[in-house]
Structure 1
């Protein structure tokens, strides 16, 4: 047994010794051998190559002498190209594997591929780029390289991407390039893709963004300033938080930022019709949405409120021949499209969505699942003010309206009843007449849920009101007009430079203001464009005027400050006026 034990110990010692010898042999490739440096052959050092975009497939071939391992290990080659001004061999502009699976002594790249790499690196077209190229030899863990200088002239014309994305701290998606938001590529008048891109999105002030040709790097990058687009330029920023239309033109290297305060629905279906607006709320991703009451059928459009721009400058209408695609009216011709007002045949409380994300430019109208339930429509409905019956309202199917604009004061109380003596069924709403955040709009309209009940409806603003009571949609709507005096130099065609003086309502049916007026200027009283009062005697300082009739006032012969007052009839058909210095 003892002899067996000794033999086992001896055998283990031999195995360990042999293993140690083999481990020492395996270390030799790591440090006890050499790899020679390959020498460049072509292009020779300091060569200059002009890339010809008319021969974009032409090849540049790099050659070098072989590198050898002192122990005969296999050697593999590649070519790397770096910026001579800032050489970074760990992150080269381009890396090309040698022929024959990396074993050859040459590697080739086309003019087009090299030009693309230089463009992605930020070098401008038709410029000389100072480069260094290296023939890199690798054998196991060893690496050696031979280098040479090379000057390359880029293609005469810049590469123009066929897609664009936005990314940065100012954007909705932040700095994650994989989440960069795409811009919409617009068509030209022939219906083919142009080099103009746009998007609707929100931006935050104090942060920055850039445009990219890909959702990952490398990519063409664009920054700039003051509407000039610069490849690899400084990041762009905005002065105010908000929603913007961004336009990028790669043909002339410009960009524009149009701040949009809000999108509105405007047209026949909404309360107040064409004289009113229903605002949409931005919900992100280029989408605006709102719940609103559509009280009539007919056409409408989307109108943008843009600071310091005309009221009708930015309108979205339906593309002719489509179900629900929209186009900016002012852009339709440039894209070879025709447009029309958006038709609507639905009534009720609806969710209206305007989708201006890059793949959409559409609208939708859907019934609000949370809308109030209809109320059975009575045969008659009477309007009371301070417990005095004013009139029987006019019925049109499920909707009752008052016949004329009713002058009410703060503190008045309105009630609705199906009987002329107030003994029938009463209806109410739980909001005050005249309560609004936008009292100076052209036509102010507000609707609230209608319900059965005898609670009085309070008035909180002096004005002349129109009422609409819709039982099918359980809505009570009140509205009133503001009146503006437009004052402009007609002789010199200065309509766009006009003054618009808002008049103050004075109970009952009067409007007044004090304004500085110019001799010889034309004037008219407007609630644009529902009311348009023209003078029956244009040169008189006092007199009568007709809605949608008469002529422009031209009654001021001396510059100065004037007290102006008008008194309208309760149907807004006519009015009297007075100008006093």
Structure 2
């Protein structure tokens, strides 16, 4: 059987082998029983897959037993409706790194599995699933198999591993070699903040060399081939999800550097390639707490409303690590936000100092910012 895909790594197997040896070097038995019964989902269950990231399907089965009374590892195997699991189309490790007799799969995972089974986008089809139990080697197939009917999301069967934006409307122009790479936020999901020029066209490509697959936007969907025309010059965020074949966009009107106590907003001009920056800016006129409270963050005004960009998870003075300045976007726009503010490296207040501030959403690096006090 071609079950190499469901074995753990060679290192894990070697560790297990060492652990299975008695003091006199005798190798203990790695045998496990087959899972005798599958519990969830029920046989022939029909699922219409949803695009929500919270949409999941729970798999559960009766625990197997190990001959050494130790822990058993599990993997859920999927195959075509007429398959025999000798070469499964997909294998998913059970919860808790394989240690639990259950597994939680997202609908997006199931959508990719359905595509591997040959089910077309937005169509219904049937796959089968079972469970393999093991001690890390010599997996044993469950005694039971079950069918699962899935209605696929309207996405792509062949999802690009990387994505670029190119064309006369873009900051990189129409030269494919200068296409701008988009940030991969998850498998099949990409985003970019970039400037587009009105009346000119752009497209998305799977590579910036050779003859890549091309994509454009039609209505609310991503389609293969074609180009899209920018209707207005502006700075935009584009988010494309090939798992469901859809996209979202917003126009970014303004990015402000925001001082918490004074609620002072300082606009950062767009520099290009996902970066906003102000240089040689002098703050004056702040007194009292407005001047000495050293917390700050950023606010973005866009066609979808105002959001905040804050630290990922800190509420302390700068550590000197680059990751301290990494940012994430938040929708709760408030003067004070727990664990989501930064501290200025200055200890003598904001006023009467000159600053360079960079706010970077460049896709080639983590979203971050830089504050320089001159």
TM, length-normalised to structure 2: 0.49
TM-score, scaled to structure 1: 0.32
Please tell me whether Structure 1 or Structure 2 has the larger radius of gyration of its CA atoms: 1
Structure with the greater relative contact order (CA < 8 A, sep ≥ 6): 1 or 2?
2
